Amino acid sequence: MSRKWQASDIPSLAGKRVLITGANSGIGYHAALKLARKGAHILFACRDRQRGEAAIARLQADSPGTHTELVILDLASFASVRSFASAEVGRNRALDLLINNAGVMAPRQRLETTDGFELQVGTNVLGHFALTALLMPALERAAAAASAAESDRPRVVTIASIAHKRGRINFDDLQSKRNYSPMGAYQQSKLANLLVAFELDRRLRAVHSPIMSVAAHPGVASTNLFQSGKYSPLEKSLRNLASHVISIALNTDSEGALPTLYAATSPEVTDGGYYGPQGFQEMRGENVGPARIASQAKDTTAASRLWGICEELTGVKLL
């Protein structure tokens, strides 16, 4: 690119419907804000009604006249995912953009979803897999109405992490029942996010679907991932300090949203692309471009195997 891509480069999104998971805070909120300013109707997918309403009020106060809607969705519950998706698809409306943004990062103790899966795999991977599969009819409606322009094609954007580079998929202990490492489980989930995103791209192209599957990562940004969770007072203080340092030295959550926005709207994005900041070690920088992909994220055999496991565990078929 000859110059830095900016949020102001986002084309008009008037009439477009956008669903963002975890839109009430961090990168999700700033992506919602900037997309709403371009005319999109934003569905704030949040698990907590009070926090969701507060986020929408904040957005409306910042940018009056924007179009937002709160939807309650808990990715750690397949019942919640199914209930929401059924209602959304039943509205017979197109969904132009799905941003799988919400995530859980490295809880100190092993926790489980309501369905009994390790929380990070269950939320970051399985919850989003089920949501994407169940919302496919709404994405296909948008595809049927889309023009031939790249920027008009519906997209599924998966938010990954540079942490995927240290990730390994432990197929023998995917749920970390025998050995739980907070960061190890997070790295595994982010690698899994990329494997699924790339496999979705291959399957969409195999059936000649105009729907795009792409991924992005924020580098290292100051988000609520560093602060949310159950921690001792000392740990909370240290995490708050780390978040403050990151916002100064690396990226704020607003800056961290740029790769998401680029992946979601830029006409330069290609099928199966992965995008992130171009600064040192991809940790910081306002210049967005193609991100480096670890070799294990390119393993098509592992991706196909993981895909089958996701279908089995969620009970949902996708392509």
Instruction: Kindly state whether residue 4 falls inside one of the protein's structural domains.
Output: no
pLDDT digits (tens, 9 = 90+) for 152-192: 899 999 999 999 999 999 999 999 999 999 999 999 999 99
Which pLDDT score, from 0 to 100, does residue 1 have?
44
Active site residues: 186
Minimal CA–CA distance to 126: which of 164, 100, 148, 152? 100
Instruction: Kindly state whether residue 65 falls inside one of the protein's structural domains.
Output: yes
C-alpha distances in angstroms, 289 versus 34, 154, 164, 275, 276?
Answer: 19, 20, 18, 5, 6
Instruction: Kindly state whether residue 1 falls inside one of the protein's structural domains.
Output: no
Which pLDDT score, from 0 to 100, does residue 221 have?
63
Instruction: Kindly state whether residue 267 falls inside one of the protein's structural domains.
Output: yes
pLDDT tens string for the chain (319 positions)? 457 899 999 999 999 999 999 999 999 999 999 999 999 999 999 999 999 999 999 999 999 999 999 999 999 999 999 999 999 999 999 999 999 999 999 999 999 999 999 999 999 999 999 999 999 999 999 999 887 666 789 999 999 999 999 999 999 999 999 999 999 999 999 999 999 999 999 999 999 999 999 999 999 864 554 444 554 555 554 444 444 444 444 457 678 899 999 999 999 999 999 999 988 778 876 789 999 999 999 999 999 999 999 999 999 999 9
Distance CA 108, CA 229 (A): 9
Structure-block tokens of residue 290: 């193609």
Instruction: State how many domains the chain has.
Output: 1
Instruction: Kindly state whether residue 158 falls inside one of the protein's structural domains.
Output: yes
Instruction: Kindly state whether residue 241 falls inside one of the protein's structural domains.
Output: yes
Place of tokens 């209930």: 83
Instruction: Kindly state whether residue 6 falls inside one of the protein's structural domains.
Output: no
Cβ distance 98 to 134 under 8 Å?
no
Instruction: Kindly state whether residue 40 falls inside one of the protein's structural domains.
Output: yes
Distance CA 43, CA 239 (A): 30
Which pLDDT score, from 0 to 100, does residue 232 have?
52
Q: What is the CATH number of the domain that holds 29?
A: 3.40.50.720
Domain holding 181, by residue range, is 12-314
Which pLDDT score, from 0 to 100, does residue 8 have?
94
Distance CA 232, CA 225 (A): 16
Cα angle 119, 123, 125 (rounded to 5 degrees) comes to 115
Which pLDDT score, from 0 to 100, does residue 242 have?
44
In this structure, the number of other CB atoms found within 10 A of the CB of residue 6 comes to 13
